[in-house]
Structure 1
Amino acid sequence: MLLAGLLTSGQIFAQKISKAELQVNGLTCSMCSKATETSLKSLGFIETIRPDLEKNIFVLTFKKDQQVNLDQIRDKVQDAGFSIGQLSATINFNQTFIDSSGLAQTGNTVFRFTNAKSKTLDGPVAAKVLDKDFISSPAFKKNVAQLKLDSYQSGRGTVKGRETRIVHLSI
C-alpha cells in the first residue's frame, strides 16, 4: 500500500507525497525483503524505509520537497525480482480541483480519480494507485473492464493537447 501519483512527459511525479505503503508480492524470506529494501534505497527521494515482514509491506517516507517517481519505485521492486501488490500514499493537495470526468492537474502532474468528480482536494489525502504494475494483475483486468478508459490501459492520454502520463487513483 503505497504512493499515489503521476508523471508527465517524462517520469516525474511532481505531487507532494509525504509517505506511502508498498505491498510487495513474492517475498518469502528476510533476504527477499532485504534485496527489495536495498533496491529501493538507491532512490534519492526516499528518506526512510521501514519493512514489515509479516505483512510484506514497506512504509516509505519521502524527502521534503523532492519529486517522487512512482515508475522508478515500481522498477526497483521489479529489479529485485518482485512485483507490487498495492501502492497507497498520502498526497498533500493544495486546492486541487477534480473535474467532472475525474481529471485533476497540479503542476505537471495529472491524476484521474476513479471515484471522485467535481470536487476540490485540499490537504493530505490517502489514495491508492490503480495503474498496471501497481496492483495485482487480476485487479487490473477487472478495472479495465469496469472503467473502460483508454488512459487506464496505457497509463497515457492527451491533456491540454499534450500526450501525458496519467496516474489513476482511488481515494
Structure 2
Amino acid sequence: MKTKLMFVMLLVFFTTIASYAQITKVEIMATGLTCSMCSNAINKQLKTLPEVERVSTDLNTNTFTVHLKKENQITPLILKQKVEKAGFFVGSMIVTLTLNHSKWENSVAITPEGSTYVFLDQKTNPGKEEVAVKVMDKGFITPKEYKKTAKALSKYPTYAAGDAKTFHVKMM
C-alpha cells in the first residue's frame, strides 16, 4: 500500500513541475563545410534516422532543416552525433518543441523519451503551444559562443551534472 501511495505521489509531483514536449523540427547549422559534397554527407546521415520525415538544405548558410515524424523519440544529441559522424560539427541547433500540456513550473519540459529541457531564464509559461529554442550546451554552439555562456550556465545545477539527456535551451 505504501509503495502505491509513494508512486502516486511521485507521479503527481512530476506532472506538476514539468510540461511535456515533442520535437517537431530542428535547424542545424553545421561548421567545417567547404562544398556541396560535404553538405550531401550530412544530409545522408540525417536521413538514415527513421524519425526523419525530410531534410532541406540551405548551402548559403550551411543550415539543415530536419522535419520529424509525429511521436518521434529523437533527441538533439542523436542529431549532433549524426552530423559528427559525417565529419563535421554543430555550430548552432534550434529545436522546435510542441508543448503538450499547459503545466509549466521551474522552467522545465520533459519529452516522452526522457530528455529534459531546462529553459534558461524562463520562469513562466511561454504562452504558446509551439516554441523554438536554441540548445546552449557544449557541442551545440560554436566554441567561441560556448566560452561566453559557460559561466552563466554554471549557475544551473543541472548543467554541472552534465547529464547527456538534459539540454539547456534559450527561447528564440
Query: How would you bin the TM-score normalised by the shorter chain?
Result: 0.7 to 0.9
Radius of gyration: which is bigger?
A: 2
Secondary structure in structure 2 of the residue aligned to 1:138? helix
- Match of residue 115 from structure 1: 121
- Match of residue 152 from structure 1: 159
Q: Which segments of 5 or more consecutive residues in structure 1 lack a partner in the other structure?
A: 1-13, 157-163
Cα distance between partner residues in 1 of 2:111 and 2:87 = 33
Q: Which structure's residues are more often helix, by fraction? A: 2
Deviations 1:101-126 (A, max 9, x none): x3344553322111201436541011
Question: Which of residues 48, 51, 58 in structure 1 aligns to 2:54?
Answer: 48
Deviations 1:109-163 (A, max 9, x none): 322111201436541011111111111112112211123234325532xxxxxxx
Aligned residues: 149
Cα distance, 1:75 vs. partner?
A: 0.7
TM-score, normalised relative to structure 1: 0.78
In structure 1, give the amino acid aligned to 2:108.
L
Structure-2 change in CA distance of 1:96 and 1:82 (3 Å) = farther
Cα distance between partner residues in 2 of 1:61 and 1:26 = 23
Q: Identity over the aligned pairs, expressed in percent?
A: 33
Structural mapping, 1:1-171, within 5 Å? 15-94=21-100, 95-99=102-106, 102-105=107-110, 107=112, 108-119=114-125, 122-148=128-154, 149-153=156-160, 155-156=162-163, 165-171=165-171
TM superposition outliers: structure 1 runs of 4+ over 6 Å: none
Cα distance, 1:64 vs. partner?
A: 1.3
Structure-2 change in CA distance of 1:15 and 1:59 (3 Å) = same
TM-score, normalised relative to structure 2: 0.78
